[in-house]
Structure 1
Amino acid sequence: MAMIDLNDYFYFVHVVEKRGFSPAARALNMPKSRLSRHVSQLEERLDTRLIQRTSRQFKVTETGRVFYQHARALIDEMEAAEAAIQSRKASLSGRVTMSCSVGVAQFAIKELVCEFLVK
């Protein structure tokens, strides 16, 4: 089996969601022929027809509908993974070690630590 190209999954999902190659190509700002080639390569790799193509009709096959559900879930998970990393980068994490005299710890540090934890 050939290597999986996640771009092909992404393109297939767009074609299904836009209900055709032309609207998907416009949304992705790419030539329709290139988009069609990616979906054809995916169908070849899977050895099955995902979309019935005619000059006047666009129809997702039953196998294509099943594959779409999994491909959509995969893309959603990839987006969630990226969002989780971006969220983690935006928040502070780690260990803070401080040393000070008992007097400073009792009065000044307590307020500073509380302020830090609120932020």
Structure 2
Amino acid sequence: MEDENLITVETPIKACKHNIRAIHDTMDVIGGRWKISIVACLCFRDMRYSELLREVEGISGKVLSRELKDLEMNKLINRKILDTKPIAVEYSLTPYGETLKELTLTIADWGMNHRKEIIGK
């Protein structure tokens, strides 16, 4: 009987640890101030570097470049050099990156509800 209780108590603890590890992995990839905003912009359409710089309010060019490289390294976005004069670079979500669309919508919904809860608007 004691062993059964140990298993039922141990299982939720293992599940919790497993979930926390997965959350940490997720936050390592999309965490920080800018990455999820960049991904959210690219959920709507492919964008050039200058468009992203304009849309993600407050980000500097240096930080945008770093975040784009990191997102590309994690296989979430594609970088395409366009055959234009001057040369332009366009970014898009990879099929793997598109798996974040639902998450960005969920985060946005939660944020709107949170704003209503805190501010009352």
Structure with greater strand percent: 2
Q: Distance in 2 between matches of 1:84 and 1:43?
A: 31
2:63 aligned residue: 34
TM-score, normalised to structure 2, is 0.50
Gaps of 5+ in 2: 1-24
- Per-residue CA deviations over 1:59-97 (Å, capped at 9, x if unaligned) read 53xxx342443333212111111223344454xxxxxxx
Which SS does the other structure have where 1:30 is aligned? Answer: coil
Gaps of 5+ in 1: 91-119
1:24 pairs with one of 52, 58, 62: 52
- CA spacing shift, 1:53–1:85, aligned 2, 3 Å: same
1:66 aligned residue: 95
Amino acid aligned to 2:105:
D
Q: Distance in 2 between matches of 1:47 and 1:18?
A: 15
1:56 shift after superposition: 3.0
State which structure, 1 or 2, has the greater radius of gyration over its C-alpha atoms.
Answer: 1
1:52 aligned residue: 80
1:79 aligned residue: 108
TM-score, normalised to structure 1, is 0.51
Amino acid aligned to 2:67:
H
